[in-house]
Amino acid sequence: MNDLLTPPAADGSVDLLRIVIAPSAILKTKCRAVGAGDDDAVRALIPRMFATMYKAPGIGLAAPQVGENLRLIVVDVGPEDKRQPYALINPEVVAASDETSTREEGCLSLPNQFADITRPSVVKVRYVDQAGARREVDADGLLATCLQHEIDHLNGILFVDHLSMLKRNMIMRRLVKEQREKRDGGR
Ligand SMILES: [Zn+2]
């Protein structure tokens, strides 16, 4: 991918967005495609999503995670001193390898929860970049996992939805309990 973006300044000049924590209806929603009328909203949203993701910190963020019903994701799997920011509009997985990889995944919408998830090792993702150009990326490794995780969000799917109901319920119960304890100030 060569549509490298300039990461937003870390000086607080970009307003951060509030990250939606599961369970929440917006996280279960199949998001609508970004259309021509969404240009201004998307242009305003992208730097704020990057800033929110870096601050968290995380390596990917999908629009529904900040309460926006739009098919838009930002990802950056690069190290902190060598950012590789990508914004993908209307991304879709158009090809996936038979070979799979298992990685431990987490999610900014499920703080402190992690699980091993198996997904195709290599994927081809088609998307529209910020300039409106149609692009394709062949991703492997962490980027492939991250893209699939974020695109899942646009279809109302969380990483725990790839687990057995037993494991998923265990994680969701733990999350709700931890969030309640946090809200109650650890009482
Ligand atoms: Zn996530």
Can you spell out the DSSP letters for 114-143? Answer: EEEEEEES-EEEEEE-TTS-EEEEEE-HHH
CATH number at residue 179: 3.90.45.10
Task: Tell me, in angstroms, the distance from the centre of ligand 1 to residue 8's CA.
Answer: 21
| Cβ contacts of 79 within 8 Å, gap of 6 or more | none
On whether residue 17 sits in a domain, the answer given is no
Is pLDDT at 2 greater than 90 in this prediction? no
Say if residue 40 is exposed, middle or buried (CB neighbours under 10 Å; 0-12, 13-18, 19+): exposed
3-state secondary structure 23-49: CCHHHHCECCCCCHHHHHHHHHHHHHH
Task: Tell me, in angstroms, the distance from the centre of ligand 1 to residue 112's CA.
Answer: 12
pLDDT for 80 equals 86
> pLDDT tens, 6-25?
555 555 678 899 999 999 99
Task: Name the domain count of the chain.
Answer: 1
Task: Tell me, in angstroms, the distance from the centre of ligand 1 to residue 146's CA.
Answer: 9
Tell me which of 68, 99, 150, 181 is the catalytic residue. 150
pLDDT for 185 equals 82
pTM, full prediction? 0.92
Domain extent, residue 152, equals 25-183
On whether residue 14 sits in a domain, the answer given is no
pLDDT for 6 equals 56
On whether residue 67 sits in a domain, the answer given is yes
pLDDT for 14 equals 86
On whether residue 52 sits in a domain, the answer given is yes
On whether residue 38 sits in a domain, the answer given is yes
Tell me, yes or no, if 104 is annotated catalytic: no
